[in-house]
Structure formats: C-alpha cells, structure tokens
C-alpha cells in the first residue's frame, strides 16, 4: 500500500529539517529533495542573519551554522509568520553554551533594533504642541523609545562588528541605552548617563506631570536642590526633542 499524503508530508518535513538523519520521501528524486532542503534552510538562515548581523559577524561560518542548523532542525515554531522567527531564535540562544554573555546580550539588543524597524508609532495626543515648553508643559515621549540597561556596551560592539572590526569587550558594567528610530525609519541608540536614564525613565512613567514637576521629584530622590537640576534637564529635554525622543509637550492641567 502506498504512503498516504500525510505520511509523505511528514517524511518531507523530517528530511528538510534534518537531511543527514532522515531519508527522503519514498519515490522522490534525491537531487530535488536536496534542493528543497537547502532552499528552506537558506531562507531561515538568511532571515536570522539579517536580523542579527552583528552576532553573525562575531562568528565564523561553522560557528554560525552550529546555531542555525540545530534551531532549524529542532526548534518547534510557535508562529507561522517568518518575521516572528528572530524572537524565537533569541530564546533559543539563551540555552546555547557556545555563546558568551556579551553575545547573548548583543543578540537581545539586535532583536530590539529589528522589532523597532517594523513597529508602528502610537498616535500623538491631539493637544500636543511640538514646540511646547518642555518644563512648563507635560513632555510627550515617542512611543517608539525603548530603554535598555546592559552589562556590555552592545551598541558599540555591534557598530565595530558591522564595520568588520574586532570589538573591544570591556569587563561587565552598567550601560544605559535609549533606542529609537530616525526620520528615515532606521533604528539608532543613544548612550545615556545614569542621571539621563533616570530622567527619561521618569518621563515615560509620568502621568499628567509637567517637566518641572518630574525634575523636582528626581531632585528629591537624588537629595539635590531642584533648581540645580533644572538647567541640565532643560538642555537634555531640548536635545531629546531634536532627536525625536520627545515629540513636544501637552499643556499643563
């Protein structure tokens, strides 16, 4: 009795995922099946290399395929959408002993950049004034801003690798980053001081508070006079507006 369609389909899938351990479906042409196996794998491999270019650059061909081959072979996909694959690959990478801590953190940074390119921004408030006073009014943070705290300077490591250079990997520390997208849709990262990171975090969590009120609250946390921080904060807010991190300000309540 010939194989059923389901049995043939399962044999096809097993072979494409792992041609070294599984025979091709009965009656199929080996050369055609080998072409299918390469086509499917190269499609997945290329998708992941595009999403994680710096991680790819940190590995030689064998090292990279030591990750993508078992992922393609063993990982059960949780989404039929190809664009969701990088997120599943990142979860897979967390269990791989071949990678260093900085490579895992680099991959998380790259996934954040990858996701940011396709994300839609939320509509701006109807009462937003793009040139509004950022201290007297309520600053509005772009919905695309993503804050990261990392143990390694992954933005600089990624830039070095993508330029074909060998990155300098410093000892573990604490690095604050803000990710955003420029006017052309390209993601970029800003390195923040601890104080700037606290300010931007406070802005993202603010509920109907003016910039001056947010600065006053931070001053209290830091044990410093509010007037001492207002000058720095005003300059920083203006810079962020120029970079698109802040969209402007809403009128105070």
pLDDT grade, residue 249 (50/70/90)? very high
* Residue-wise burial string across 134-158, b where 16 or more C-beta atoms lie within 10 A, e elsewhere: bbebbbbbbebbbebebebbbbebb
Structure-token match 């790259």, residue found: 110
Residue 178's DSSP bridge partners are 147, 190
Residue 250 CB coordination number (10 Å): 19
pLDDT in tens, 125-152: 999 999 999 999 999 999 999 999 999 9
| Share of residues in the chain with pLDDT > 90 (%) | 65
pLDDT grade, residue 2 (50/70/90)? very low
pLDDT in tens, 9-66: 666 666 666 666 566 666 666 777 666 667 778 888 999 999 999 999 999 999 999 9
Q: How many residues does the chain have?
A: 253
pLDDT in tens, 173-204: 999 999 999 888 899 999 999 999 999 999 99
Average pLDDT rounded to a whole number, residues 155-162: 98
CA pair distance 242, 131, nearest whole angstrom:
10
Say which residue, 33 or 165, is predicted with more confidence: 165
Q: Is the pLDDT of residue 7 over 50?
A: yes
* Cα distance from N-terminal residue to C-terminal residue, the chain: 78
**Where do you find CATH 1.10.150 in the chain?**
5-99
Average pLDDT rounded to a whole number, residues 147-174: 97
3-state secondary structure of 247: strand
pLDDT recorded at residue 18: 63
pLDDT recorded at residue 79: 63
CATH class of 5-99: mainly alpha
CATH class of 138-250: alpha beta
CA pair distance 60, 76, nearest whole angstrom:
26
Kindly state the helix (H) or strand (E) to which residue 89 belongs, with its residue range.
helix 85-93
Average pLDDT rounded to a whole number, residues 228-244: 94
**Where do you find CATH 3.90.930 in the chain?**
138-250
- What's the angle, vertex CA 239, arms to CA 235 and CA 243, rounded to 5? 170
CA pair distance 195, 235, nearest whole angstrom:
13
């Amino acid at each position: 009795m010939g194989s059923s369609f389901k049995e043939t389909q399962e044999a096809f899938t097993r072979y494409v995922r792992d041609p070294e351990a599984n025979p091709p479906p009965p009656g199929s042409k080996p050369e055609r099946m080998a072409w299918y196996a390469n086509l499917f794998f190269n499609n997945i491999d290329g998708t992941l290399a595009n999403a994680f270019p710096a991680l790819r650059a940190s590995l030689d061909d064998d090292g990279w395929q030591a990750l993508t081959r078992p992922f393609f072979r063993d990982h059960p996909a949780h989404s039929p959408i190809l664009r969701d694959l990088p997120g599943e690959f990142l979860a897979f990478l967390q269990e791989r002993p071949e990678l260093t801590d900085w490579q895992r953190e680099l991959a998380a940074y790259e996934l954040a950049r990858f996701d940011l390119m396709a994300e839609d921004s939320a509509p701006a408030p109807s009462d937003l004034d793009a040139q509004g006073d950022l201290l007297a009014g309520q600053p509005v943070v772009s919905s695309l801003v993503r804050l990261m705290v990392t143990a390694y300077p992954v933005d600089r490591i990624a830039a070095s690798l993508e330029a074909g250079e060998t990155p300098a990997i410093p000892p573990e520390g604490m690095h604050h980053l803000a990710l955003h997208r420029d006017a052309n849709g390209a993601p970029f990262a800003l390195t923040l001081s601890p104080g700037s990171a606290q300010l931007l975090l406070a802005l993202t969590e603010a509920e109907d508070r003016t910039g001056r009120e947010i600065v006053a609250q931070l001053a209290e946390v830091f044990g410093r006079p509010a007037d001492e921080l207002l000058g720095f904060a005003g300059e920083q807010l203006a810079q962020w507006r120029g970079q698109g991190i802040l969209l402007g300000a809403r009128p105070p309540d």
